[in-house]
Amino acid sequence: MQNRTVLYEKVRFRMRVKTDDRRKAILDVAIEVFRDVGYARASMAMISARIGGSKGTLYGYFKSKEALFAAAMMAVMEEQADEIMGLLDLSEPDVSLALRRFGEALLALLTSADTLAIMRAAIAEGASSTLGATLYEMGAGRAWEHMTNYIARQQENGVIRPVDARVAAAHLKGLLEIGFIEPLLFGAQPWFTPKEAVATAVDAFLRAYVSNGGGQ
């Protein structure tokens, strides 16, 4: 009986690995297709043809093109996003340094070709589907929730003034993006270099929010 149980678990493990590998292969191809033709022109038929399978197989993993797009785009961003959020290190006594590291890494991610394509597609589809909201919650919303928590902890440490942490995080987001990300989304030249954008944003944020006696 024990041998049968072990064999059963090994079979289940192999099937799970095979399923995970297949899902990753689908995501890799979907990323290529979305990058090549854009979200609007891409179709499940086009993606399944490039993979070499049927649409039925594709729908077995992802219930819609929206779901596949969201998963594909998050696969592009997720690992880097986790690394970036890890830069908000509470053990780093220099808050200015932590925020600059975070800001520079964030802008590098947000200005990559894949991420800009994601944001443009999300904005374009936002009025007619749930895609934009899904991508926001999975990506930017998650990142800025993490920033809110970081600010709240720095308030507990006496570094940041006792204000609404979500408002403070929103102000930092605006300062980082307004002269850099916003122009790029419209195909225009940014006002600043990435380092200038981060330096001016962090400086303005700390001038507004560092408490008396708090370190920078």
Q: Can you give the length of the chain in residues?
A: 216
Cα-based distances in Å from 55 to 16, 30, 42, 52: 21, 13, 13, 10
Listed as own residue / partner, the contacts of 18-22 with beta carbons closer than 8 Å and 24 or more positions apart are 22/61
- Say whether 199 sits in a helix, a strand or coil: helix
Chunk the chain into consecutive blocks of 10 residues (it has 216) and report each block's average pLDDT, rounded to whole numbers.
49 50 90 83 91 86 87 76 83 93 88 74 66 71 88 94 95 89 83 91 95 58
- Say whether 200 sits in a helix, a strand or coil: helix
- The whole-number pLDDT of residue 14 equals 43
Closest Cα to residue 139, out of 80, 63, 58, 92? 80
pLDDT digits (tens, 9 = 90+) for 17-39: 457 888 889 998 998 888 888 88
Distance between CA atoms of residues 142 and 85, nearest Å: 10
- The whole-number pLDDT of residue 71 equals 85
The amino acid present at 54, given as its one-letter code, is S
pTM: 0.68
How many C-beta atoms surround the C-beta of residue 42 within 10 A?
21
Cβ pair 111, 120 in contact under 8 A: no
Look-up: residue for tokens 């590291």? 101
Listed as own residue / partner, the contacts of 81-89 with beta carbons closer than 8 Å and 24 or more positions apart are 81/109, 81/139, 81/142, 81/143, 84/109, 84/143, 85/143, 85/146, 88/146, 88/147, 88/150
123-133 per-residue burial string, b: 16 or more CB within 10 A, e: under 16: eebeeeeebbe
- Say whether 39 sits in a helix, a strand or coil: helix
Domains of the chain: 1-63 (1.10.10.60), 66-216 (1.10.357.10)
Distance between CA atoms of residues 206 and 203, nearest Å: 5
The two three-digit tokens of residue 64, written as one number:
């819609």
Cβ pair 173, 144 in contact under 8 A: yes
